[in-house]
Amino acid sequence: MMTAIAPPLPGRAVIRQRWSDIVFVHWRVDPAVVAPMLPAGTRPDVDEHGDAWVGLIPFVLSEHAFLPLPPVPGLGTFIEINVRTYSVDAAGNRGVVFRSLDAEQLPSVLAARALFGLPYQWLRAERRVDDTTIEYRGRRHTGSRPSTRIHARPGTAPVDTALSRFLTARWGFHEHHLGRTIHARNTHAPWPLVEAELLHLDDELLAAAGFADLAARAPDSVLAMPLGHPGVVTEFARPRGLR
């Protein structure tokens, strides 16, 4: 059973970040669609109905620090927008598999690609927040320069369901790096989730990540942090190779 409480890290934390203003937009997909996209030694993690999921997730990353050093001056706060699906390995470790991660800070993009093999791309982005809604806009600097616009209205009623935990309480990621599959664990306080309404979506990042049809249909789940919430502090342990 998925738990909203993170298990202890398997070793000391090496990276610390704060995640805030997050919106989780998700679609159900056939597991056969995502299976070829996963690192060796993992398979699609599916919900109780046998469905895999793909998410489009914008948020603000701040206070980025390589521990035990303090946050990186001038480089520690930026918008990130990722496209992801979900995995599980033979040992039962659940995780996120990122199809793409787009971020504003080029040095952070280059560092994440080098250290973890994560498919980061360089993005120009902006965020607008008013009393009831949050909007993200972004365009990648490279390739076909895909863009996105995500406009949502977070509600106020807390959400904690089997599905919300399946989609958000992952506690790690799988990635192929330096010839092997790694699993990196993370921990943070339970997500402060609320239901949200998607007001507008005009997105090309999903298609660029291999999901050409998703942006054209309504998502199956939209969750968010409450507006004004300070976010959660997240810590990552050093990645470990799969046995």
Gap between the Cα atoms of 217 and 236, Å rounded: 34
Question: Predicted confidence band at 110 (pLDDT cuts at 50, 70, 90)?
Answer: confident
Per-chain mean pLDDT for the chain? 93
Q: What is the sign of the dihedral through the CA atoms of 227, 232, 238 and 239? A: negative
pLDDT band of residue 111 (cuts 50, 70, 90) is confident
- pLDDT at residue 64 greater than cutoff 90: no
pTM of the predicted protein model:
0.95
Query: Do residues 169 and 114 make contact, with C-beta atoms less than 8 angstroms apart?
Result: no
Query: Is 90 exceeded by the pLDDT of residue 76?
Result: no
Cβ 37 vs Cβ 99: under 8 Å: yes
CATH second-level architecture of 13-241? Beta Barrel (2.40)
**Tokens at residue 58, please?**
């914008």
